[in-house]
Structure 1
Amino acid sequence: MKKYILKRLLQLIPVVILVSIFSFLIIQAAPGDPINNYVKSGMTEEQVEQVRKEYGLDGNIAQQYGRWLGHVLQGDLGTSMKQQRPVAEMIGERLPNTIILMGMALFLALIVSIPLGLWAGLKKNKLADNVISFISYLGISIPPFWLGMVLIIIFALKLKWLPTGGMHTLNVDTTGDLLWHLILPAFVLSLNNMAVFTRYIRSNTISQLEEDYVVTAISKGTSKRKVLFHHVLKNCLLPIITLAGINIAGLVCGSFVIESVFSWPGIGRLAMEAVGNRDYPVIMGFTMFSCIILVLGNLLADILYAVADPRIRQGGGRRDN
């Protein structure tokens, strides 16, 4: 098991390096000079070059990337050009808020999709299956930002049941108030995963119900419900473990839009503000953080998969995706 984890860790290193290179090149290829936003009128050429040097924007792309990578390896993600604060500190302040939102979204996706997927697979091609499948297709197709705005209009502005955004009511800092503000953004962020998980569980439930061990158990008098929850469920959850790990990064990227729509003070909203301000150090910091979350999510999924499937744990081999 230790060799398996070490092997997976070593495979992740080149991925992170390649992502950093491509992200850096894409940002550098953006039109315009970012330093223009921070140069005051009346500055001499020498002063402009000094500002450029302070932000590590002097020299060619290879030199800039080398300096940036050297700082990152020391734990320094740079300094925000807009707020003049360390990027790592800014991300650290907002990260707990994003984790709360992501955790609730993933929790909602799992507790809703598992029973729906099992029920749809058990009732294959019947009314319940058709209704659940239709709702799943809607969940996959609806753009989250559009749904977020529609739900704000309906539940916040029209019905006034829920807040329009933010994380807390002014001068109120209670768990209940936090959960009240979480309802809309967590639901919107979870909807796509909820739909995808439901489809996967349905598909796996149908295939598992056709396996010999299920047919044998039912023929011996075991109820379908008992077979479903005691045997089929475990095998259906294996691919969901992988999907959940992979979609952790998807939740981070999804929060990029959702946090802006609902004014949620997380790292996604921070990144959106950085894009508007062309604050390149913050953009790179967010990109690399998302990459690391993705690879760690994949690693966590691999470990959980190996724990759940004895064939991988015993052989230490590579699972098929």
Structure 2
Amino acid sequence: MFQFILKRLGQAVVVVFLVTIITFILLQSQPGGAARAALGKDATKEQLAAFDHENGYDRPIPEQYVTYLNKIAHGDFGYSYQHNQSVNDLLAARLPRTIFLSLLSTILALIIAIPLGVWQAVKRNKAPDYIVTIACLLAYSTPIFFAGLLLIVLFSQVWPILPNDAPQGQDLAVMWEQWDHLILPVCALSVGTIAAYARYVRSSMVDNLNEQYVRTARAKGLSEFRVVFVHTLRNAMFPVIT
């Protein structure tokens, strides 16, 4: 187990290192450079040169990359000239709400996907299994923004029962108070996740239902509910937990 953890940590370090290189290259590849992207097309050459000197963009590329890594290591993610605010402040304002919304959508997806996957496995190769499989493929291939637009049209215009905008507060307490504004965003985020988790559960359940311990449990006279939800589902949940 310890060696497995070390291996995973080593892989994570390599991935993060490659991501920093790719991100740095993309930043350096902006048309006109970072100065032009920040100051706009009307900036003079003197203003561009002053911006490059102030931010170290006139230094050698390797030195710029080392400075870039050093800032990230110290928690300095730069400044957003589009929002006229530091990236750290933007993260502090938006990250808690993003985590909250993602957590709600994941919980909803699990609540729906696990029973759905179990039902598919029990009804495998029958009409209900085929219907749910097609629905899952459609849901998984639907972009989140398009799913959100469909939900807004259906439940805010065709059937005006839900608000068409997200919670407008800046903190989690206000978001929770405006719970009805959370329904559509959470459902939109859950669509693809439900499809993915349902497929995981179905595949794992089908494999486990063919195992010897399931036949033994049935031979001992256990009810089908106990065989499926107590014995089989417990072992089939490992891919989803991972």
Give the secondary structure class of the aligned counterpart of 2:80: coil
Match runs of 1:171-250 below 5 Å = 173=174, 175-177=176-178, 179-242=179-242
Residue matched to 1:38: 39
Q: CA offsets per residue over residues 81-118 of structure 1, 9 Å max, x none?
A: 23443312211211011001110111111110100000
Deviation at 1:232, TM superposition (A): 0.8
Check the 8 A contact 2:120/2:129 in 1, yes or no. Answer: yes
Check the 8 A contact 2:106/2:190 in 1, yes or no. Answer: yes
Deviation at 1:75, TM superposition (A): 1.8
Give the secondary structure class of the aligned counterpart of 2:237: helix
What TM-score results when the alignment is normalised by the length of structure 2? Answer: 0.88
Residue matched to 2:9: 9
How many equivalent pairs are there?
239
State the alpha-carbon separation in 1 of the partners of residues 217 and 195 from structure 2.
30
Amino acid corresponding to residue 5 of structure 2 in structure 1: I
Match runs of 1:1-321 below 5 Å = 1-2=1-2, 4-36=4-36, 37-38=38-39, 43=44, 45=46, 47-168=47-168, 173=174, 175-177=176-178, 179-242=179-242
Amino acid corresponding to residue 35 of structure 1 in structure 2: A
Query: Tell me, which stretches of 5 or more residues in structure 2 are unaligned?
Result: none
Residue matched to 1:273: none
Larger Rg computed on CA atoms: 2
State the alpha-carbon separation in 2 of the partners of residues 13 and 157 from structure 1.
48
Check the 8 A contact 1:118/1:205 in 2, yes or no. Answer: yes
State the alpha-carbon separation in 1 of the partners of residues 83 and 176 from structure 2.
30
Question: Cα–Cα, structure 1 residues 158 and 72, in superposed 2: closer, same or farther, change >3 Å?
Answer: same
Check the 8 A contact 1:120/1:128 in 2, yes or no. Answer: yes
Question: Cα–Cα, structure 1 residues 206 and 174, in superposed 2: closer, same or farther, change >3 Å?
Answer: closer
Deviation at 1:141, TM superposition (A): 2.1
Q: Which has the higher contact order (CA 8 A, sep 6+)?
A: 1
Q: CA offsets per residue over residues 248-276 of structure 1, 9 Å max, x none?
A: xxxxxxxxxxxxxxxxxxxxxxxxxxxxx
RMSD: 2.4
Question: Cα–Cα, structure 1 residues 92 and 138, in superposed 2: closer, same or farther, change >3 Å?
Answer: same
Q: CA offsets per residue over residues 102-156 of structure 1, 9 Å max, x none?
A: 1011111111010000011011122322222222122112222222112212212
Amino acid corresponding to residue 123 of structure 1 in structure 2: K
State the alpha-carbon separation in 2 of the partners of residues 141 and 97 from structure 1.
26
State the alpha-carbon separation in 2 of the partners of residues 24 and 225 from structure 1.
55
Amino acid corresponding to residue 201 of structure 2 in structure 1: I
Report the more deviating stretch, 220-229 or 4-13.
4-13
Question: Cα–Cα, structure 1 residues 225 and 44, in superposed 2: closer, same or farther, change >3 Å?
Answer: closer
Amino acid corresponding to residue 125 of structure 2 in structure 1: N
Check the 8 A contact 1:55/1:81 in 2, yes or no. Answer: no
Question: Cα–Cα, structure 1 residues 42 and 19, in superposed 2: closer, same or farther, change >3 Å?
Answer: closer
State the alpha-carbon separation in 2 of the partners of residues 40 and 203 from structure 1.
54
State the alpha-carbon separation in 2 of the partners of residues 42 and 206 from structure 1.
63
Query: Tell me, which stretches of 5 or more residues in structure 1 are unaligned?
Result: 243-321
Report the more deviating stretch, 26-35 or 9-18.
26-35
Deviation at 1:25, TM superposition (A): 0.9
Check the 8 A contact 1:39/1:48 in 2, yes or no. Answer: no
Percent identical = 37
Deviation at 1:228, TM superposition (A): 0.8
State the alpha-carbon separation in 2 of the partners of residues 18 and 82 from structure 1.
26
